[in-house]
Amino acid sequence: MQIPRFSECHHPLVKSLSHLGDQELLSLFQDHAEDGLYFTGIFCRYSLIVYSLVRHQARSPVQADYLFALTWRHIFHELRGLKLTGGSDGDEPALTLQNWLINMTAVCINQTAVTPR
C-alpha cells in the first residue's frame, strides 16, 4: 500500500504545532477555523491513520483516494463542534481525538456509496 505524502506536513508552520496536545490543537482550530493552519496540523498528525483505515477497506487506490477526501471533508465539518469528554472522574472512558477520528473514518467508510471499481 502506497501512503500519500503531503508536503504541507513538512512546512515549518505546521511543524511548529507538533508540541501541542490534541486538545489544544482542537481548541485552536475551533477558535480560528478560518485559519487553515490548525486543521492542517490535525490532518498531518492523523492522515496516515485515516488513510490506512480507508485503504484497507477500499477496492482500489482510486477508491481509497476518493474515500479519504470525503472522510476529511466530513471530519473538517464535525471538528467544529467536537467536545472531547470523559475520563476525568473514571465513570466514562476519555474520548480522545485519535479515537474520535477512527470512529468518524469508520462511519464515513460505511456510509459512502462507491462504485465497485
Residue that wins the pLDDT comparison between 114 and 77: 77
pTM: 0.87
CA dist 40 → 24, 26, 28, 89, 112 (Å): 14, 11, 12, 32, 23
- Confidence band (pLDDT; 50, 70, 90) for 95? confident
In this prediction, residue 92 carries a pLDDT of 65
Answer whether residue 60 is part of any domain.
Answer: yes
| 31 Cα distance to chain centroid | 18
Q: Decide if pLDDT at 5 tops 60.
A: yes
In a domain, 85, yes or no: yes
| CATH number for 14 | 1.10.1740.10
| Domain hosting residue 56, numbered range | 8-111
Query: CA end-to-end span of the chain, whole Å?
Result: 17
91 band by pLDDT with thresholds 50, 70 and 90 = low
CA angle 41-43-44, nearest 5°?
Answer: 65
Report yes or no on 2 lying in a domain.
no
Please state the domain count of the chain.
Answer: 1
Q: Does the structure show a pLDDT above 70 at 89?
A: no
> Is residue 74 very low, low, confident or very high in pLDDT (cuts 50, 70, 90)?
very high
pLDDT tier for residue 37 given thresholds of 50, 70 and 90: very high
